[in-house]
Each structure stands twice: as structure tokens, then as C-alpha cells.
Amino acid sequence: MSQHEITITINGETQTHKVEARTLLVHFIREQLGLTGTHIGCDTTSCGACTVSLDGEVVKSCTVFAVQADGGVLETVEGLAAGGVLHPLQEGFWEKHGLQCGFCTPGMLMSARSLLARNPRPSETEIRHGISGNLCRCTGYNKIVEAIQYAADKMAGAGKGA
Amino acid sequence: MIPASFDYHAPKTLDEAIALLGRLGDTAKILAGGQSLIPAMRFRLASPEVLIDIGRIRDLAYVEERGDHLAIGAMTREYALEASAAVAASYPLLLDTARVIADPVVRNKATVGGNLAHADPANDHPATMLAYGAQIIARGASGTRTIAIDDLFTGLFETSLKPGEILTEIRIPKPGKHTGGAYLKIERKVGDYAVAAVAVQLELAGTAIKQIRIGLTNVSSIPMRARAAEAALTGKPPSDAALEAAGVAAAGACDPSADLRGQIDYKRDLVRVLIKRAVTRAIHRAQGGRP
């Protein structure tokens, strides 16, 4: 078993930590960093509740070892609200009731942000395709789609990138 | 669920990775995108003593046309196929496939090389690469060799890669004029393995099918070609009767298992229907139709 020292930029702050090789990124985020916004849902790479951004792309953090993220740039849901102002996506989920129990929401937000970065004006079909790696058992997805459309409109209006 | 302990190495070059693999032998496993291996480790279905992470070898991720083929580096993420202009322009079968592998988040991490080297008959690339007649490039301590895709899969999760070899590149012959392809997959939900799927690549001569290769997903213990179906269509116009004969031939030749995705007869019948639909779509594309 090997121990590794890893240096990661977490929501803009560079930190160094010791991890076992087998430590999954999601456990590192929740237990070592104390960032519990990233959730563990299925533990089978299915549900997407643990979705985070690593080096600019969303990944399921239950299916990445923390040591693989050494030298990387990690963004979790806690990093979305810059200076205490809600991200347009967070605002959209609030305004359009894009959540009920909220368990899937952190992963949904991260996937939606990645979707809008790649495609700032997605169609409804493209939104549904873009979030198809994230499961929601409450909303039936319609309100989530509306929330993402709200954010896309707002961000296009503000001329602001994801 | 936490995997068993292991030692971790992250070589920066292919030579370093091959040297490590040679030194560590059977105790080591290559970690590519990890989207199959890490779940298997979490369930303790796999407990390698050592992982050699090839994710830091930068020159293994590329998708580019080189002369008569499309070269895909083994560490190319599935998403890169979806985003590739070359794939969109000339490789509809590959684009179809890339869009239905697992889900969009998994596709950011999962790799083409890993999908093939894992040799899971439920994975999607094996059937597609069989239909394309792709070539696999492998590198080991004694050099580089080319493996025809028909010779790659030798058993359930087993390939003809030798101990100490790493799959480094996939080469797909560039389709010529009057060619078309399609991948049709029935899945219960996004992210699941196929109940059954069919990959078709063909070339037309006038109204007849001049050449055709068909791969099947998740209906045999080893990724397989539907050779009887290919024979039923080669040299013939794709009449309803010929398509039905091809579907029936493939349904009879495959060897699915009954599981939570369906009974054996159901899966065979899916193969029959998917063959007809996939060939029809491939012909439509060969005639210049989109999508």
C-alpha cells in the first residue's frame, strides 16, 4: 500500500495532503477536505451525485482515485457561489424549483455548468442529453431543465461565461 | 466501498510504463480511464497489487486522420470522439458509438483503449472496431506490433495482448466513397450496458452491398462478428427478404445469457431486429443521407 503527497487546487486554493493510493476522490473531498456538498449516492458510477470538476471536465469522483488528481484543479459545488453571490445555475434551481430533496443537486449543478461551458445555448434535447449522467428521483427532470434554461438565458444576457 | 490496498505508479513516458510492467509482471494492472477498473476494485472483483496509471503519459491522447486511417491514441477520452470534427465528418459508426457509451460524465474520463483492452463483451467499442476492421497497436519491451481486431479478443475479459504489452493506438481504415455505418444499441437506461447492440460498416456498389462487416455487443462471451449475417448480405441488394435472412442468421449465431436485462429469446430477437435497422441506416448514410 502506498501513501502519496498530493497537491491540488481546490476551489481556487492550492493545498497539499497525504492520501493512500486507494482513497477515492469523493472520500478525500468529503472526509479530508470536509467539503460535504459533494454527495455519495450509488457508489456504482451511476447516479452522478458525486460529480465534480477536475481540470475543467466533470467526473464522477467516486470513480477517480485522489492520487490521480495530483497537480490538478478541482472544483466542487462549494466553489460555485463566488463572493456569496449565487451562480446563475443556483439561482435558476431556486427560481424554477429545480430540486426537491436536493440530494442530486450538487452533481446536477456541476454537470449543468460543464454543459453550459461547452454549449452556452443548449436546446431542451441537448440539456437532457447533457445531464443524462445525473439521476434525480424527485423532480422528473422538467424543473431541472427549466432551471438550466433560466441560467443559460441569464448568462447569455449578462455576456458571462460559465 | 473502498478498494483493497495497492501500490501506485504514475510514469510520465511509455518506456517507463513498459519497464515498470516488465518488472512488476502479473501483480500490476494498467489504469487508463478507470471507469471499469475502479468500480471492479471497489466491489473487490479486482484487487491488483499495483496500479500503473498511464494517464500522465501526455502523447497517448489524440484523434487524427493519418493517410489512409484514423489514428486514435489509447488514452483518448470518449468525449474527444464526440467532439472530433474528423469523426463527425467521416466516421458515423464511431460517432454513434461514442454517444451511447455509459453517460456524459463517464465519457469525460473513460478511454477508447481501456474500453477495448478490458475486452468486456458488454462494452461498445469491440463491436464497432470489429465492424470497421480496425488495427490495434501494442508496444512492449521487444517493440511495437500490429494486431488485427479479429485477433484481439480471445476470451471473456481476455485479449491477445502479451504480458508486458500496452495497447497504445487504434487505427480505423478511412471509409471510401459509397460507405456507411451505424451503431444501434438498446439499453434500459442511459449508462447501462446494452441489452443488445449492433455495429454495421458497409460499402455499396450500385444498389447492392459490396462489402459488409457486422459486430455484436453483449450477446456472446467474446465480442463477435455476425459472419453469417455478413454472408447473407454480401453481393446482394438489401431486399426485405435479405435483411430478414441476415437478422435471423445473426440471432441464431449469437450466444446471449439470460440476466436482468432479458431472456435469451428476447435478446436474440433484438439482434434480429437491430441488424435490419442498423443495415438500413448504414445504407441510408452510404447514399449520402443524414443522420
Q: pLDDT (tens digit, 9 = 90+) per residue, A41-80? A: 998 999 999 999 999 999 999 999 999 999 999 999 999 9
Q: Using an 8 Å Cβ cutoff, are B21 and B96 in contact?
A: no
Residue A87 pLDDT greater than 80, yes or no: yes
A16 and A39 in a single domain? The answer is yes
B166 and B213 in a single domain? The answer is no
Give the other-Cβ count within 10 Å of A128's Cβ: 16
Residue type, A156: A
B217 and B238 in a single domain? The answer is yes
- Per DSSP bridges, beta strands B179-186 and A3-10 are unpaired
CA dihedral B38, B43, B47, B48 (to 10 degrees): -10
A49 and A20 in a single domain? The answer is yes
Which of residues A79, A103, A120 is at a domain's end?
A79
Query: At B45, which CATH number?
Result: 3.30.43.10
Nearest to B177 by CA among B206, B219, B134: B206
Grid coordinates representing B192? 447501462
- Per DSSP bridges, beta strands A73-75 and A3-10 are parallel
The pLDDT value recorded for residue A82 is 83
- Per DSSP bridges, beta strands B153-155 and B158-159 are antiparallel
What's the rounded Cα separation, in Å, for the pair A67 and B77? 19
- In the structure, what pLDDT confidence band is assigned to residue A1 with cuts at 50, 70 and 90? low
On average, the pLDDT of chain A sits at 95
A113 and A97 in a single domain? The answer is yes
- Is residue B21 helix, strand or coil? helix
Flag whether B33 is in a domain: yes
Determine the residue of chain B that is closest to A53 in CA distance: B105
Nearest to B201 by CA among B285, B270, B83: B285
Flag whether B291 is in a domain: no
The pLDDT value recorded for residue B47 is 96
What range defines the domain where residue A15 resides?
Answer: 3-79
How many domains are contained in chain B? 3
- In the structure, what pLDDT confidence band is assigned to residue A9 with cuts at 50, 70 and 90? very high
Quick check: A46 and B1 CB within 8 A? no
Which of residues B173, B188, B208 is at a domain's end?
B173
Q: How far is A62 from chain B (nearest CA, A)?
A: 9
Residue A131 pLDDT greater than 80, yes or no: yes
Flag whether A162 is in a domain: no
Q: Using an 8 Å Cβ cutoff, are B166 and B54 in contact?
A: yes
Which of residues B153, B173, B193 is at a domain's end?
B173
Query: At B212, which CATH number?
Result: 3.30.390.50
Grid coordinates representing B50? 499495483
ipTM of the complex as predicted:
0.95
Q: pLDDT (tens digit, 9 = 90+) per residue, B240-275? A: 999 999 999 999 999 999 999 999 999 999 999 999
Q: pLDDT (tens digit, 9 = 90+) per residue, A95-105? A: 999 999 999 99
Inter-chain Cβ pairs, chain A and chain B, closer than 8 A: 87
Q: pLDDT (tens digit, 9 = 90+) per residue, B64-90? A: 999 999 999 999 999 999 999 999 999
**B27 — phi, psi (to 5°)?**
-70, -20
Flag whether A27 is in a domain: yes
Residue A160 pLDDT greater than 60, yes or no: no
The pLDDT value recorded for residue B62 is 98
User: Model-level pTM greater than 0.90?
Assistant: yes
Q: Using an 8 Å Cβ cutoff, are A74 and A123 in contact?
A: no
Is the torsion defined by CA of A133, A35, B46, B7 positive or negative?
A: positive
**B237 — phi, psi (to 5°)?**
-70, 145
Q: pLDDT (tens digit, 9 = 90+) per residue, B54-66? A: 999 989 999 999 9
The pLDDT value recorded for residue A159 is 58
B151 and B185 in a single domain? The answer is no
Flag whether A52 is in a domain: yes
What range defines the domain where residue B16 resides?
Answer: 7-53
Considering only the C-alpha atoms of chain A, give the largest distance between any 2 of them, rounded to a whole number of Å.
Answer: 52
Question: Please, which residues bridge with residue A14 across strands?
Answer: A9
Which of residues A46, A79, A112 is at a domain's end?
A79
Quick check: A57 and B108 CB within 8 A? yes
Q: Which residue has the cell 442511459?
A: B190
In order along its 291 residues, chain B shows pLDDT tens digits of 899 999 999 999 999 999 999 999 999 999 999 999 999 999 999 999 999 999 999 899 999 999 999 999 999 999 999 999 999 999 999 999 999 999 999 999 999 999 999 999 999 999 999 999 999 999 999 999 999 999 999 999 999 999 999 999 999 999 999 999 999 999 999 999 999 999 999 999 999 999 999 999 999 999 999 999 999 999 999 999 999 999 999 999 999 999 999 999 999 999 999 999 999 999 999 999 877
Using beta carbons and an 8 Å cutoff, which residues of A are at the interface with B? 1-2, 4, 20-22, 24, 27, 43-46, 48, 51, 57-60, 62-65, 67-68, 70, 111, 129-134
Which of residues A50, A79, A108 is at a domain's end?
A79
Q: Using an 8 Å Cβ cutoff, are B31 and B77 in contact?
A: no
Give the other-Cβ count within 10 Å of B235's Cβ: 11
